[in-house]
A = this chain, B = another copy of it.
Amino acid sequence: MSSHLPAFGKPRRGDARVALLDAALSLVRRQGWSATSVDQLCHAAGVTKGAFFHHFASKEALGVAAAVHWSAVTGALFAAAPYHAPADPLDRIFAYLDFRSELADGPLEEISCFAGTAVQEMFATSDPIRMACAASIAGHAQTLEADFAAALVQHGITCTDARSLALHTQAVLQGGFVLAKALGDAAAARDAVAHLRRYLEMLFAKGT
């Protein structure tokens, strides 16, 4: 509640942990996990290495905490987003996709997913980080599951299930990020969402 806003750029005493986690999100999204050094994180957060290892036992431990932090930050963003307004569950799904498409209007470095970026590098070398990223992605997918389930029932669709559709939505978004980064154009991410929207439109129109 009365969370004192960080008055200026300099982090106050007690802010080091969050400053490091925020730095991790932006640095890892820009340049990946392995290329991001502890020194770099400390510099970006405006703290020293002593503070880093006071709050985190290792770089890996920070990675796990950063994935949790990412879930919290994005969770708050999506919870506050206006796409929950429609009464019909399918309309809420479409509103979610429109919202994701709008998010992809920003700079390239802002449209990627911390968890997706980190897990691509670390899936074979750090199980704690892999699991934390999996929980982040699957957790976000789960917020769509109830709407998908309701829409499936409403339209009498049985050829797939809500969990699969929710995960596929995340897969298409992740793939859109990869292509956008490669082609240097966020439009690639929006195109992927547009195809996904058409898929869902046809899938749910079929049963109506």
Which chain A residues have a beta carbon within 8 Å of chain B's beta carbons? 30-35, 108-109, 112, 115-117, 119-125, 130, 133-134, 137-138, 159-160, 164-165, 167-168, 170-179, 181-184, 188, 191-192, 195, 198-199, 202-203, 206
- A134 x B182 contact (CB < 8 A): yes
Complex: A170 Cα to B195 Cα, angstroms: 12
| In the complex, chain B residues whose CB is within 8 Å of the CB of A164 | 191, 195
- A198 x B159 contact (CB < 8 A): yes
Complex: A119 Cα to B177 Cα, angstroms: 10
- Say what secondary structure dominates the interface of chain A: helix
The count of identical subunits is: 2
- B108 x A182 contact (CB < 8 A): no
**Among the listed B35, B182, B195, which residue makes an inter-chain contact with A119, where contact means beta carbons less than 8 Å apart?**
B182
Please name the residue on chain B nearest to A112 by beta carbon: B120
In order of increasing CB-CB distance, the 9 nearest A-B pairs are: A175-B175, A32-B121, A34-B34, A171-B175, A123-B181, A34-B35, A199-B199, A174-B175, A134-B182
**Among the listed B173, B178, B195, B203, which residue makes an inter-chain contact with A198, where contact means beta carbons less than 8 Å apart?**
B203
Complex: A156 Cα to B150 Cα, angstroms: 33
Complex: A168 Cα to B176 Cα, angstroms: 8
Evaluate whether A167 and B188 lie within 8 angstroms (CB atoms) in the complex, with A121-B34, A173-B175, A176-B175 already known. yes
Evaluate whether A174 and B184 lie within 8 angstroms (CB atoms) in the complex, with A31-B125, A108-B124, A199-B199 already known. no
**Among the listed B134, B173, B174, B199, which residue makes an inter-chain contact with A195, where contact means beta carbons less than 8 Å apart?**
B199
